[in-house]
Amino acid sequence: MKDKKKDILWRVYLVYFSVIIFGLTIIGRIIHIQFIEGDIWRNKAKEMTYRYFPVDEMRGSILAADGSMLATSVPIFDLRMDLNTNYYTEDFFQANVDSLSYCLSRLFGDKSRREYKNMIEQAYKESDGFLLLKRNVTYSQLKKVRTFPIFRLGRYKGGLVVVEKSRRELPFKMLASRTIGFEREGVNVGLEGGYNKYLRGVSGRVLMRTLSNGAYMPVDSKTDIEPKDGNDIVTTLDVTFQDVAEDALTRCLIANEADHGCAILMEVKTGEIRAIANLTRMEDGSYAEMMNYAISEASEPGSTFKLPSLMVALEDKVIDLNDTVDTEGGRHWYFSQLMRDSHAGGYGRISVKKAFELSSNVGISKIIYKSYYQNPQAWVDGLYRMSLNKPLELDINGEARPIIKSTKNPLWSKFYSLAWMSVGYEVAVTPLQILTFYNAVANDGVMVKPMFVREIRESGLTIESFEPQIINKAICSKSTIKMARQILEGVVKEGTAKNLFSTVYQIAGKTGTAQIANEADGYDHVNYKASFVGYFPADHPKYSCIVVVNNPTKGVYYGGAVAAPVFKEIADKVYATTLDIHQENEVTTISKDIPKVLAANRYDIGKVVTTLGFTHTADVGSVWLQQVADSTRLYFRPKSMTDGAVPDVTGMSAKDAVFLMEKNGLRVRILGKGAIKRQSLLPGTKAAKNTLVTLELATL
């Protein structure tokens, strides 16, 4: 009996102690989870229920020089419907869902009324508390949606949930689109990529709650962080000039069925790029901006390289413009390679100046070869001194490095390289690099870096400005610059670009025609590259410009016939609309005996001139007049005054200018003293009421 009792007690104690040990284990585990792993599990629970989502910032805008939008971020929205709201009843929902479906169908047109209704009712029955209605809705569409049945009750009662995003748009579409570029997944192209650190801003965050179906819904939270929008950048591009350049280049490419081309307009003193067009032929024969050839395509420039070739020799004083050279019959052998002129039969014996004006390959190559064949590195060093071997270090990615080999290069040939490089072969430069060199000649030898952006703005206020940067203070002596400008003017007056000559203003520049071997055809086929580079007005340069047309296929391929007319069209339109150029022309040619009279009302001008004892003539039919350069008489032309457009107030007093601007509904800011030197809005353009126009005054 005792043994049986002991056996029972042993079993009871075993169970008892097992229960105690199990209980202690559970308690220990609870304590471990609560106090040791507690934070970990609590955070995981929050992550499963709540989660922070990034909120995209609004990317800054890219503006033209006059403030016009070149690229901007437009807000777009995803619309969802919170069907778990407790603010409306079953009866209310059923009474209004049909009307809501009808309105959504009519606005978006992507689904029928019945399809919308079935989708919403199905989600309502399944308690899908965060139904996606429509992605990428515009702001104007969103305003209409907020007036629809159910949604008009407001954010909480109506259940409309709006998730904001943004989309990049180019208001001018293709205009300068490759230069504007993009920034996408680490790929930086154009201004969007080069100035991404200014444009991108800082993203925010918003707390979202997980719903039963796995969707997320915004939660009102004081921990949300608002995104910081990016800054705007103000470029140097002029929308009007850009349009002119692209239009002229497009028509040239179409007429010549060319593969691609580019045109660049640069301001001489500052290096500001005022227009840059890059066009590629598409499969359907149209042209679009696909690649920035202006900065990325380094190839043999051809005859436009003859200018730096001669300038080295002029600077070293081994030649003079009046020296002569025998161009023979337009053919000259350099050992086993034949140098040809485009003009059959050659030009005979001509001066160095004439050889350049006529773009004689034989003449220029013989001049350089004779001067440097014993020490060709001296000629190469001269090119290096003019910074032709250095990249421009642009703020835009993708610049190709110039290739100007030295005599130490394995590819240098002591028999051929000097002669062929002197006329633009066996070297490679981009259109912008060769334009920068010609711009330096126009700028009295000062080489400035091409400039694409003027300033950075935050909320409309300038926070950083960019000044012109000098690459080379003097590419050569003043005497060499003077001779270079003389022969460039001669090209237009008496040489290969006589079709550009104008009595209104002078152009200086150089034609170029290069033969480029086509790698795709195994180098058996030769493509042509036609170009013209120069500046205007020649006597006081304001702008420099280059036009390059690659592979014209209609039988005309010389730079003077293909590229030069595009240059002329751009220059003519820029000259006609750039008032500073006209003022400089007029001021410098008015005789000292003829008084300078401010632009003004014709009756005020008549009264002033009569009081001074002069007689004058003026075109009839215009109330506002401006003095025209004439050394023999007082003559006035009409000012540009179109109703509803920005008036031309340059050369006027501040009083008259403000009157005319405010008459057209514009707000005016005055800078400086004297007469109006420059106005920020282009005359003849349309401007919205209350637009601010800046008038810069100076002594004329």
Q: Which residue has better confidence, 569 or 10? A: 569
pLDDT of residue 582: 60
Q: Are 427 and 300 in contact (CB under 8 A)?
A: yes
pLDDT of residue 129: 61
- What whole-number distance in Å separates Cα of residue 487 and Cα of residue 495? 9
CATH of 580-698, one of 3.40.50.10440, 3.40.50.300, 3.30.10.20, 1.10.10.10: 3.30.10.20
Residue 622 reports pLDDT greater than 80: no
pLDDT of residue 523: 44
Residue 47 reports pLDDT greater than 60: no
Segment (H or E) for 136: strand 131-137
User: For the segment 50-59, what is each residue's pLDDT rounded down to a tens digit?
Assistant: 666 666 677 8
pLDDT of residue 662: 85
**Chain centroid, CA 190 distance in Å:** 7
Whose tokens are 């609560």? That residue is 34
- What whole-number distance in Å separates Cα of residue 419 and Cα of residue 363? 10
Residue 630 reports pLDDT greater than 60: no
Whose tokens are 């690659």? That residue is 550
User: For the segment 293-307, what is each residue's pLDDT rounded down to a tens digit?
Assistant: 999 999 999 999 999
pLDDT of residue 253: 96
pLDDT of residue 138: 87
3-state secondary structure 605-627: HHHHHHHCCCCEEECCCCCEEEE
- What whole-number distance in Å separates Cα of residue 31 and Cα of residue 22? 14
pLDDT of residue 502: 83
Nearest Cα to 459, choosing from 281, 230, 256?
230
pLDDT of residue 234: 95
Centre a 10 Å sphere on the Cβ of residue 590 and count the other Cβ atoms it contains. Answer: 18
Q: How confident is the model at residue 231 (pLDDT cuts 50, 70, 90)?
A: very high
Cα–Cα distances in Å, from 466 out to 272, 436, 443, 457? 11, 18, 19, 12
Mean pLDDT of the 522-539 span: 84
- What whole-number distance in Å separates Cα of residue 421 and Cα of residue 695? 49
Mean pLDDT of the 379-394 span: 97
User: For the segment 189-230, what is each residue's pLDDT rounded down to a tens digit?
Assistant: 889 988 989 998 777 676 666 655 445 556 666 666 777 888
> What SS3 class is residue 677?
strand
Structure tokens at 550: 């690659």
Assigned architecture for domain 53-61+70-174+201-231: Alpha-Beta Complex (3.90)
Residue 489 reports pLDDT greater than 70: yes
Q: What is the mean pLDDT of the chain?
A: 85
- What whole-number distance in Å separates Cα of residue 626 and Cα of residue 642? 16
**Across 75-84, 98-107, 386-395, least confident range:** 75-84
**Across 82-86, 609-613, 640-644, least confident range:** 640-644
Q: What share of the chain is helix, strand, coil (3-state, %, to 5)?
A: 35, 25, 35
Structure tokens at 325: 């050279």
Q: Which amino acid is at 312?
A: V
Residue 349 reports pLDDT greater than 80: yes
Q: For 241-577, which CATH superfamily applies? A: DD-peptidase/beta-lactamase superfamily (3.40.710.10)
pLDDT of residue 215: 52
pLDDT of residue 506: 93
Structure tokens at 124: 């309502």
pLDDT of residue 482: 96
Mean pLDDT of the 390-413 span: 95
pLDDT of residue 560: 92
pLDDT of residue 126: 76
